[in-house]
Amino acid sequence: MCGRAYLFSDVDQIKRLFDIAPQQPAPNFAANWNAAPTQDLPVVRYDAAARHRSLELMRWGLVPFWAKEAKLGYSTFNAKAEGVADRPAFREAFRRRRCLVPCDGFYEWKKSGTRRQPYAIARADRTPMALAGLWEVWHSPQGEALKSFTIVTTAANALLAPLHERMPVVLERADWPLWLGEIPAEPAALKALLRPCPSEILTLWPVSPRVGNVRNNDPALLAPLAHPSAAGGNGCGRRSSPIAT
């Protein structure tokens, strides 16, 4: 699954990486070292009418257009790849409203008995990730529009499997046009993108249990933990130095 992420790259970096035209308006957003569902995060989508990519803030936790109330988004912050084409909450978004969710990495927890040790995951080359997402617009009874998104997950690769059985879908640049809808694609071709990324493009390291409290939001959350067992877990995978800020 993917229930916590972090993004410290600024808006100009994100615009360059995702080929958002410099003259296009984009939201301002602060670095978020402990992003969680229900928070607003930047999302990249393709505007077919204008024929360009846009960057805008949406709430994490997809609320389907047909939902009676917004609280449904609390249970739809992730969408399993195996069901996106058929599950009512996601099938229309999968057909028409796919997006990329930029982040510098995400967190996952390894269970050991009753203990849970958090790990930070990043790309090995330290560039931001593009996670496969779906987005939707929901209108409240008062007529207010809420844009929200979910992150698509798949089976974990060999690096992340010791932590959790699921992981977010990490898309490479060559796959962005297809996923965003810039290139016409059949559902089978889209589903083929929803696979575990190669283990070698990622790295991970144990971090402080402080990340478990969403109120903790600072760069120190990414500091490698020298002795993870002392914090209630065991090390696994490749350790890493902190990400430069």
What count of other Cβ atoms lies within 10 Å of the Cβ of residue 172?
12
Question: Which residue is catalytic, options 99, 108, 136, 197?
Answer: 108
In the residue annotation, 108 being an active-site residue is answered as: yes
Q: For the purposes of burial, counting CB atoms within 10 Å of the CB of 25, is it exposed (0-12), middle (13-18) or buried (19 or more)?
A: exposed
Radius of gyration of the chain measured on its C-alpha atoms: 18
In the residue annotation, 165 being an active-site residue is answered as: no
Q: How far apart are CA 223 and CA 245, in angstroms?
A: 11
List helix spans (H) across 170-242: 176-180, 187-193
Give residue 122's Cα distance to chain centre: 12
Taken in order 178, 151, 129, 101, the sign of the CA dihedral is positive
- For 124, the 3-state DSSP assignment is coil
Question: Which residue is catalytic, options 2, 99, 103, 197?
Answer: 2
Which residues form the catalytic set? 2, 108
